[in-house]
Amino acid sequence: MTGDVIPMPVPSSFNDVTQNKTIRDYVGWAWYETQFFIPTSWNADKQRIVLYFGSAHYHACVFLNGIWVVNHTGGHLPFQADVTNNVKFSVKNWLTVALNNTLTHHTIPQGKVIYKDNPEEYPEGFYVQSVNFDFFNYAGIHRSVILYTTPTVYIDDIIVVTKINGTTGIINYTVAVNSAQPSYISPSCYVEVFDMDDDLVAQEKKCQNVINVRNAKFWWPIGIHPQPGYLYTLKVTLLGGNIKDVYYQTVGIRTVEVTDRTFLINGKPFYFMGFGKHEDSNIRGRGVDLPLIVKDFNLIKWIGANSFRTSHYPYAEEIMDQADKQGIVVIDESPAVGLDAFDSVLLTKHLQVMTEMIQRDKNHPSVVMWSVANEPKSSEPEAKNYFKRVVDHTKKLDSSRPVTAALSGPYETDLAGKFMDVIMQNHYFGWYSDPGYTQVIYKQTISVFTKSYEKYKKPIMISEYGADTVVGLHMDPAFIFTEDYQTEYLMEHHKAFDFLRDKGFFIGELIWNFADFMTIQKINRVVGNKKGIFTRERQPKAAAKVLRCRYLHLANQS
Ligand code: GCB
């Protein structure tokens, strides 16, 4: 270890844990180092040893005992390296990670480094990182780092797709087997399905097959079934010679379909009620925070919501697991937020990020749609071919889920929506346009969604609407930034949503945002974005009660 070092927790963002402004606003390479021991039994058993990172933002280079082992680009998805030949037994191992959080027009999301080469006006070498989004560009090793072992012939992946036929649940599975040995006996698979009481309900042989579960309990979203989030466990055993590997994969049996007007889960129309969120909290930044995850799910249930969008990047696996278990529906969004220039280099990165996201999240029953982007400049001529390629790629990897994107430009000139199965739109009537005039909301919302539906002829939903609200600030008649304004703003929207719901093509409302969150420093953000229904500390604003009445009332009707 060389140079100055400071203690730095993992998982966490590095930005807010010190008293140092340079660290908070840091752009460039940061180095992490730690040491660990490995039990000698891992060597005696001839295990394959893997080093796994849940996520590290943004470019990561990993070294073990001074030898490079893996690079990864992109902040919100896992990566790993087989380190069997790099680890040492009985002595210390040194793990070193170099991280760079710089965003450019060829990263996803995009950003720009602006050098202010003007010695008369700026200190020498002054530069700033500008980004195409408002949330703070937190950086660090954000999720857990794990060392695990597998046998040398091992289960590499399991793909599960479910269907329903009457009361029978159909599980199509494929087990991918890999080998760290040059040649091995072709193994066979034995697959058992256990219900939530741990009773064996079905079994099959072969590494690729179809299992029928009779009188199955389906995975239902919360609010429309007394037992939401029902999960079976698929126990996959790999056998052959002295090979033995076992993996337990949870499975929710459910289907997702879209027509030109509706979104169906298990054949029943589903109306999205919920939020856009962020992974964001005090001190930890974007670092995974287990108590916060549990609290957020408790708040989601308290308010009666049934869904959220992982705006604007894939969330921690712990969050996805909770969504599965609690029957909360997820629109899984890629980190492609605010794309404004499209070329083949960016496209390659975007396809790669979709591959990694689908690879990680494909077996989550809670994930019902892939959102390929948020607010791209989709009227640019290059956007047409670009989004066709992104959607084709996504569907090739997973044909079982619809694809969407959160659009915000004028629908008249948008070139991306035609490739989507579902249209999401972000609108801020009465906030970014006509601030203070809640009376415009009803007409404008109805008008834009009706005309958009006429254009696309696809189910459509609002993926963002919201008003910045400083908790505790009141003024009546309502004035912007007060709790009274946020409340009135929501109620005007809800009237319009009810009108649109009656038309049959409007399939959901996701408010912006679940909670207040930290932003970059901007003159229209007073220490963060305050559009939360909850504060950053997860206390309800007045609007939370309005939303709770609405969601519980709508859930009672379904
Ligand atoms: C948007 C963005 C979201 C912002 C929000 C706002 O359209 O999608 O990331 O935070 O507006 O509050 O400005």
Of the pLDDT bands very low, low, confident and very high (cuts 50, 70, 90), residue 114 is very high
Long-range contacts of 322-326, Cβ-Cβ distance < 8 Å, separation of 24 or more: 322/293, 322/294, 322/297, 323/297, 323/364, 323/366, 323/367, 324/219, 324/229, 324/231, 324/250, 324/252, 324/364, 324/365, 324/366, 325/229, 325/231, 326/222, 326/228, 326/229, 326/297, 326/300, 326/301
The answer to whether the beta carbons of residues 77 and 59 sit under 8 Å apart is: no
pLDDT over threshold 70, residue 421 = yes
Of the pLDDT bands very low, low, confident and very high (cuts 50, 70, 90), residue 140 is very high
In CATH terms, the fold of domain 259-557 is TIM Barrel (3.20.20)
Of the pLDDT bands very low, low, confident and very high (cuts 50, 70, 90), residue 1 is low
The sign of the CA dihedral 406, 412, 414, 420 is positive
Q: 263-265 and 268-269: which strand pairing? A: antiparallel
What pLDDT is attached to residue 185? 64
Tokens of 468: 């910045």
Ligand 1 atom at shortest distance from the alpha carbon of 426? 7
The answer to whether the beta carbons of residues 111 and 134 sit under 8 Å apart is: no
Segments of 56-197 assigned E as strands: 59-64, 67-73, 79-82, 93-100, 111-115, 127-131, 145-150, 153-165, 168-179, 188-194
Which ipTM score applies to this complex? 0.99
Which segments of 362-482 does DSSP mark as H helices, in order?
381-397, 441-456
Region of 321 please: left (phi>0), alpha (psi -120 to 50) or beta: alpha
The 3-state DSSP class for residue 341 equals coil
The 3-state DSSP class for residue 511 equals strand
What pLDDT is attached to residue 180? 63
| Domains 21-101+137-149 and 151-251 fall in the same CATH topology | no
Please tell me the distance between residue 25's alpha carbon and the centre of ligand 1 in angstroms: 21
Ligand 1 atom at shortest distance from the alpha carbon of 374? 8
Alpha carbon distance 249, 232 (integer Å): 8
Ligand 1 atom at shortest distance from the alpha carbon of 311? 9
Measured by CA distance, the residue closest to atom 10 of ligand 1 is 134
CATH class in words for 21-101+137-149: mainly beta
Tokens of 401: 């889920």
The full set of domain ranges for the chain reads 21-101+137-149, 151-251, 259-557
Ligand 1 atom at shortest distance from the alpha carbon of 432? 13
What pLDDT is attached to residue 440? 98
**pLDDT tens digits, one per residue of 310-344:** 999 999 999 999 999 999 999 999 999 999 999 99
Of the pLDDT bands very low, low, confident and very high (cuts 50, 70, 90), residue 419 is very high
Q: Residue 429 has what DSSP assignment?
A: B
Ligand 1 atom at shortest distance from the alpha carbon of 375? 8
What pLDDT is attached to residue 424? 98
Of the pLDDT bands very low, low, confident and very high (cuts 50, 70, 90), residue 194 is very high
Please tell me the distance between residue 553's alpha carbon and the centre of ligand 1 in angstroms: 28
In CATH terms, the fold of domain 151-251 is Immunoglobulin-like (2.60.40)
Q: What is the CA radius of gyration of the chain?
A: 24
What pLDDT is attached to residue 181? 65
Q: What is the mean pLDDT of the chain?
A: 96
Measured by CA distance, the residue closest to atom 4 of ligand 1 is 134
What pLDDT is attached to residue 534? 98
User: Could you tell me which of 217, 190, 215 has the C-alpha nearest to residue 204?
Assistant: 190
The 3-state DSSP class for residue 329 equals strand
Task: Report, as residue numbers or ranges, the catalytic residues.
Answer: 375
Ligand 1 atom at shortest distance from the alpha carbon of 134? 10
In order of 151, 154, 177, 231, 241, the CA distances from 181 in angstroms are: 10, 10, 12, 35, 13
Mutate to test the pocket of ligand 1, among 426, 530, 536 (most ligand atoms within 8 A of CB): 426
Mutate to test the pocket of ligand 1, among 377, 432, 529, 536 (most ligand atoms within 8 A of CB): 529
Mutate to test the pocket of ligand 1, among 408, 512, 518, 524 (most ligand atoms within 8 A of CB): 512
Cβ < 6 Å from ligand 1: which residues?
A: 133-134, 312, 374-375, 408, 426, 464, 512, 529, 531
Mutate to test the pocket of ligand 1, among 134, 510, 522 (most ligand atoms within 8 A of CB): 134
pLDDT over threshold 60, residue 277 = yes
Q: 329-333 and 367-374: which strand pairing? A: parallel
Q: Which range among 32-46, 205-219, 430-444, 511-525 shows the weakest confidence by mean pLDDT?
A: 32-46
Please tell me the distance between residue 150's alpha carbon and the centre of ligand 1 in angstroms: 43
What pLDDT is attached to residue 184? 58
Q: 232-240 and 243-251: which strand pairing? A: antiparallel
Q: Which amino acid, one-letter code, is at 234?
A: L
User: Could you tell me which of 498, 469, 511, 464 has the C-alpha nearest to residue 303?
Assistant: 511
Length of the chain: 558
Tokens of 158: 């399991």
Please tell me the distance between residue 515's alpha carbon and the centre of ligand 1 in angstroms: 13
Please tell me the distance between residue 527's alpha carbon and the centre of ligand 1 in angstroms: 15
pLDDT over threshold 90, residue 45 = no
Please tell me the distance between residue 313's alpha carbon and the centre of ligand 1 in angstroms: 14
Q: Residue 166 has what DSSP assignment?
A: T
Stretch 206-222: mean pLDDT: 97
List, in order, residues 6 or more apart from 435 with CB less than 8 Å away.
480
pLDDT over threshold 60, residue 183 = no
Please tell me the distance between residue 133's alpha carbon and the centre of ligand 1 in angstroms: 7
Which H or E run contains 52?
strand 48-53
pLDDT over threshold 60, residue 501 = yes
The answer to whether the beta carbons of residues 312 and 557 sit under 8 Å apart is: no
